[in-house]
Chain A
């Protein structure tokens, strides 16, 4: 049950588009395999290995009738049946006057990193890392979390000559340390397992848990904050979902409507989408077979660019940026390799520069309040501290924030020099530095 390899995946894709009788056809083959070891109350309580492979076929008949079908199988007969099903669907669909055709052959940039040791990591390796971290916890501290290793292979072929294939790996380790009346958190995500310092993550979480004991109540209000990278990455991810796609912009459901080309936040803030960065996880082409390009979304505080799939790019008369989802898509293009660029201030100095305010480790259960205002809400958790004269003086009970992301980024006073990638399980990932923000609105408090 090892990697299938680009050649085999492309064979499957070519099998799917080879049936004939279509004006255009495309097949996307996606394989993911890996293991995840979960622990809670300082014991491994769930551990799993899973391999999935799906083939999505898009077929166009009568020039502009489009149908798709997906099957989770590599069996040639099932793949061919899925292609026939996509053609049936296409024949039943109304014409799509805006059908833009499919992309043609291209040269793809190097992207992602495939680490064989990560792809081959066995359950004993993951369990050993977990046991090692648990074994080093201080007395009175228990832990929960997960260690995951996985491999992704992807291939795409279409009848216009596109043949794209790539592979990447990812490893993550997360730990919540529980010291009774306080909890602490740390996580890391990297392309290779060897790049994760799980011992350091365990020590960081345990230290935060101990420091979080006996939190005092703080009234809701607007406070200066330092957001650690994990919390800052949540703001970056939300901003990415709220309107950088050209389709969302065209339909008026983007916060960038009326703001493109204008200053939207502090000049200290630059956000890019870059699948070609060495420290991200991905391949060099999107789900339509278009090369991924680095796009600067916010350039020193100015809303700079949208991202385009093939359809939106054709409509706008521009080059697609390589951010297409499997087409046709009601969502349109999305930035999926977001990063806020680091600043000049060492992270430790951000706290040292805070006269009175909060240090936030992590957010929990964030959700949209107002799209156009980029307002989201969520809770702090696992390490929320009060800072005075540049020093952490104690823990505070967790607070709910209800805050416009753009307003927060407009009051960024300093940007950390180090970045971390944070991955909200099931919701993508973004790399971000710590941020010192002058005003951050906390609307209510909880009891712990």
Chain B
């Protein structure tokens, strides 16, 4: 049965069962993950997941039902079950849900793709990763070399009772290498282009080619070995420059999540947590220094949060979150913006089986000016911190601590010795208030974060963050060993 037939059947059954607003999503998600360790294929996962999810409002209560088992008649059963779920939700009382108006769209959309990554022969992918591992293993002292390629494609057919008829296909690709050095009771790792399986972007095989895995492999492996012999970063307060990769996660954890309006309103309190930001902080709260401007933009080419429409059918948008250091907006949904502000188009589900939640799209720190070399040259004393190794932040997004793979000392505007086990910690608004320089557009890259967790049942979102290296003053570094 075609997706449009299933969605139409479910939509009709939901309305017949008493649903008010209804949206039905048929989703097919294909993934292929390949891992080569040293000289052998360590893992290959090829997965094809399709299913139908029905979301209804009945008397102002949400109900949702979804299944991958699409027997004849199942679309109608799911719709009726969603209505049953919604009716039961009235038991605890409370205000009914209202939705901000949205123009129902009838459209199609697809990620621009250079070379279809799924059409790249498996043997070619394996050959590339074996070559990337070989190039790492040419460095003496390396314990293990790893190389990965991940392909991801999702087609969504979304129909709503308001008349939305959408069909969009998002394609994303990732690749990376990880060099591991082991000795004297320690383990050090260096990655490229990013940690945790590399760089992910919307697009095709061209994302893998741009990563230049083989060319970077000897340098990355050599740095892993050097880290093993490097001294532990001492504890102190100093100036730090975060590279774009680490900065993207700093933005993610300490700016993107706190400005999700469902967190601000307490809807995620029990699991992911809330936010120190309040609904009245828009236009008032000083979040950071005047050098800080943050934008949510679901239209950025290459971003993991780039799409045509969100999972409520709201068109992709670009909207300011922080302007010159002051809060300017939130990430919102139709439900949380029914006060007349309108949805920012940030409702996303992690597949057919999940209700959409407010998620980051692409949340960027806007660029400033200059190159990383110029920023280092402009720094008398400090550290350059590179690639994330660990992250943690409290449930209101105030106190954070990050670990990085490598830290280089900066003395007199030049990079110096390498430190291992580097970490830094702080509090969100104090930290962003200490931002005094952001590199320019030539150093600005849209980094992919493919593993953002939120919600119950747990959902995984793929989001993007444009970031260029940036400098922060008076940062506490060197916690933990």
Q: Residues on A close to B: CB < 8 A?
A: 1, 35-54, 66-75, 82, 85-86, 89, 92-94, 96-98, 122-124, 126-128, 130-131, 134, 144-146, 148, 174-176, 178, 251-253, 257-258, 328-330, 364-373, 375, 377-379, 381, 398, 400, 402, 425-426, 443-448
Please give me the residue from chain A that is nearest to B480 by CB atom: A402
Main secondary structure of the interface of A (DSSP, over half): strand
Cross-chain contact B46 with A365 (CB below 8 angstroms): no
Q: How far is the CA of A375 from the CA of B267 in the complex (A)?
A: 32
Chain B 47-101 interface residues, beta-carbon cutoff 8 Å to A = 47-51, 61-70, 77, 81-82, 84-95, 97
Q: Tell me if B41 counts as interface (CB < 8 A to partner A).
A: yes
* Other 20 A-B pairs with CB < 8 A, given A330-B37, A377-B392, A446-B394: A37-B89, A38-B270, A46-B355, A47-B64, A49-B66, A50-B354, A52-B67, A69-B47, A122-B84, A123-B87, A145-B270, A148-B456, A253-B187, A330-B43, A375-B481, A379-B392, A379-B395, A400-B394, A425-B457, A447-B398
Main secondary structure of the interface of B (DSSP, over half): mixed
Question: Which of B118-126, B291-299, B406-414, B462-470 forms contacts with chain A?
Answer: B118-126
B65, B68, B130, B396: the one contacting A73 at CB < 8 Å is B68
- Chain B neighbourhood of A52, CB < 8 A: 51, 67-68, 353
Q: How far is the CA of A51 from the CA of B77 in the complex (A)?
A: 12
Whole-angstrom distance from the CB of A193 to the nearest CB of chain B?
15
Cross-chain contact B458 with A371 (CB below 8 angstroms): no
Q: How far is the CA of A284 from the CA of B423 in the complex (A)?
A: 42
- Chain A neighbourhood of B476, CB < 8 A: 444
Q: How far is the CA of A445 from the CA of B399 in the complex (A)?
A: 7
Task: Please give the number of chain B residues whose Cβ is less than 8 angstroms from any Cβ of chain A in the complex.
Answer: 87
Can you identify 18 A-B contacts, CB atoms within 8 angstroms? Answer: A39-B92, A46-B355, A47-B62, A47-B85, A48-B65, A70-B47, A82-B48, A92-B126, A123-B87, A131-B92, A146-B456, A148-B457, A369-B403, A372-B185, A377-B392, A425-B457, A425-B458, A444-B476
Q: Tell me if B473 counts as interface (CB < 8 A to partner A).
A: no
Given A85-B46, A89-B46, A40 contacting B269 (CB threshold 8 A): yes
Of the candidates A98, A123, A131, A398, the one having the most CB atoms from chain B within 10 angstroms of its own CB is A123
B37, B70, B269, B479: the one contacting A402 at CB < 8 Å is B479
Cross-chain contact A93 with B391 (CB below 8 angstroms): no
Given A49-B66, A252-B143, A377-B390, A448 contacting B48 (CB threshold 8 A): no
Please give me the residue from chain B that is nearest to A369 by CB atom: B480
- Chain B neighbourhood of A54, CB < 8 A: 47, 49, 68
Q: How far is the CA of A362 from the CA of B46 in the complex (A)?
A: 37
Closest 9 CB pairs of A and B: A43-B94, A426-B458, A123-B88, A446-B399, A402-B480, A72-B49, A252-B182, A330-B43, A92-B122
Interface flags for B374-418 (1: CB within 8 Å of A; 0: not) read 000000000000000011111110110101000000000000000
Q: Tell me if B206 counts as interface (CB < 8 A to partner A).
A: no
Q: How far is the CA of A96 from the CA of B130 in the complex (A)?
A: 13
Whole-angstrom distance from the CB of A229 to the nearest CB of chain B?
18
- Chain B neighbourhood of A36, CB < 8 A: 456-457
